[in-house]
Amino acid sequence: MLSYRHGFHAGNHGDVLKHWVLVLCLEYLKQKDKPFFYIDTHSGSGLYSLTDPYARKTGEATEGIGKLWQAAKWPAAMAAYREVIASFNPHKLVRYPGSPAIAAALSREDDRLRLIEMHSSDLSALQKQFARDRRVKVLEGDGFVDVKGLLPPATRRGVVLMDPSYEIKSDYGKVIKSINECVKRFATGQYLIWYPLINSVAAQRFSEQLQKLPCASWLDVQLAVRCPPQGHGMYGSGLFVVNPPWTLKQQLEETLPELTQLLAQDDGAQWSVQQHSE
């Protein structure tokens, strides 16, 4: 079991990997003038204070975005991600934008965002944050189920981010089932599935299950910042990308060695990238 409410872990190493890759995918879609559709199935509250009790209790941002923020030089491929983070922190690092805020910051006037959330407090925060943004609709519901009704988008161009808490083991099976159904409805869409690296059978088998999804191409990236612990602590994370941009693999392979070194907590830090294309 993994407790992964966004507020407790905002800005940690998992967020860095997930949101950096999200930025790369959205920037790739923006190379064309045609609008795109962004769906976040587990949105959270959208924006997090790194000084509130939730963040300070774990201090995980210090080992994630905090390390990058203090670095003298960021990897070149992370420039757009850095610009987004800086736009929320004009003086010092005190806030971390979640995926909804990052996607909104990168979206253009004609792009559309659909943010799904079921927790009442997070839902309320999302609604308040995007109340005046006509591009965004905040939806209350179960992201595993409700995402299907939003596909395919009219533009036939889009990104779906699936980032559940994995607080219960059944989340792994729900991800597989949901993505299978989504791909049937919108086969050409990009799907980003974040997952934790922890010492549990369900988690360790998850990457192999994702690689069996019925899709023409995928990329599976993992970043471990330390050796696996004896217990169930998260020592890294992965991001599985269905229909990745053709430029993504090279960007990752050129950047991950430096990023891994920056985020490393011990000698067990390592990265990997696997890819399949029919």
Where in the sequence numbering do the catalytic residues fall? 163
- Rounded Cα distance, 92 and 75, in Å: 20
DSSP alpha helix (H) spans, 53-119 = 53-58, 65-70, 79-87, 99-106
* Alpha carbon of residue 255 to chain centroid: 17
- Rounded Cα distance, 40 and 210, in Å: 19
Strands (E) across the chain are located at 37-40, 47-49, 95-97, 112-117, 136-140, 158-162, 190-197, 217-224, 236-242, 270-277
- Rounded Cα distance, 116 and 164, in Å: 11
Q: Report CA torsion sign: 136, 140, 144, 149.
A: negative
- The DSSP 8-state label assigned to residue 240 in this structure reads E
* Alpha carbon of residue 89 to chain centroid: 20
Burial class of residue 219 in the structure, from the number of CB atoms within 10 Å of its CB (0-12 exposed, 13-18 middle, 19+ buried): buried
- Rounded Cα distance, 242 and 192, in Å: 7
Residue 28 parent element (H or E): helix 13-29
Do 55 and 61 touch, CB atoms closer than 8 A? yes
Do 130 and 138 touch, CB atoms closer than 8 A? yes
